[in-house]
Structure 1
């Protein structure tokens, strides 16, 4: 059979239109966030899971709602069936061939199950000790607890959150802040200063907050993070308290004091948390206890939660330097 050039051209035109239609229905990251951000914020208010983490996981696990799994079964978080799942199931190749995944009647149901899944699984309990604005600790905690097998899972989540400014959703009035973020993108320091909760740091520790408030970016090559309302940095290779102190206008003595170190020669290890403000006397989040890990001390717990070592010891009647039995409940407030 001979096919005319006109017929071939028509067929090509139809295929091009079809391809264009498929391309147009693919959600962008921005469209995905706009569509589902209100659900993530609602789950944060109910469970304490940062909305930025929920959105970043949804973006990563579902490819912005474009993956086959999310389109066929509304599963936006890659949650597998596991024991006790009684809902509908679908099967996809993942770490192994033909693995069982949960299927939901709606995307909203997927988001709700994601929050309930994290809330109900004991291995994720420690995450809820972190503040809802501490997305970095949540990202690292999810990876450490085994949510995903990708070795750079935490870094991927953090990159998505920071590239898309999803951290705005974690703050009060987050939906409005995220919607108006383009007005802040050109001047993040001014925006963060207006939103910061450390307005009194200058008077207490002789620190100029304007020099490091931009946790969105960095100060002098250091990212500045916050947990329990206290700011900290991560020590670099061969770092010293003297070097960090010069950059943040703090004496080495004060830095060691902030980090409960009495040895005047003590120096931070690579990657170690270094608080640049005085730690709190107790945890200000909702959780009341921490489950101790093997070999932990009051100092280690205090550094994790930005709580003074002596406060941890007093609340739990611990001797100085005493090792804590793994699995013991440690009061943090």
Structure 2
């Protein structure tokens, strides 16, 4: 009897020491999550928690058959392999990846380059609760308990410990995109433009913001430029009308966006390519060339536009 008790106790200890699917998933992918944190700024704890929840610790059909750990759907510009399954709607299209690491990278980019998630990168990278609640608020999942599930997984498995390996992270998108005001003296010395209004830089290119009554011609005159130059710098035509708040570049835009702003994922606001070019200070022709786009192309929600 005593021998049986000893054997049972030993077996119980062995079972307790055997890692379960969650522990195995964390051990397997924690280094990938930390690497993505360094590259994109998404906390490793959030990446791991979402992967665990979305893929059932790597055991979902999407994860095992398609290497899709985050349930990311195809969208109109997806050129890779596809798989179909019922989700919010019947027979929805999901992305197929060559390996799990590609899925993790796509997940990071999905968050970093979509407007509705960019506010998250202004949070402290160790604020996993803020990230979890922000993801739910931004509409990542329809489950009303989604944030609570992420927080519970992070705390149950101490995933926050991986956020301590952050080191130096890339600048938040909001800082990269924010126009930088140029001091009046610097503006005059460097650009020789009018001091009648503030001059800013977007992607290192001097610009002003239109006020009511502005036209491309009036801004050209006040900055000692030809109207044709202003139109060319802004990918505009003589018929285009300026609205208050529109950015107007005073020099030629760049061939690519600022470092850290590698791509942009189109939202549902009906932007066209020129809107995107103006926003990031990149030539429209360069965006078309990088993305192999035709004149007729109109971005659809979820489309990925390369900026570098």
More relative contact order in 1 or in 2 (CA 8 Å, sep 6+)?
2
TM-score (norm 2): 0.48
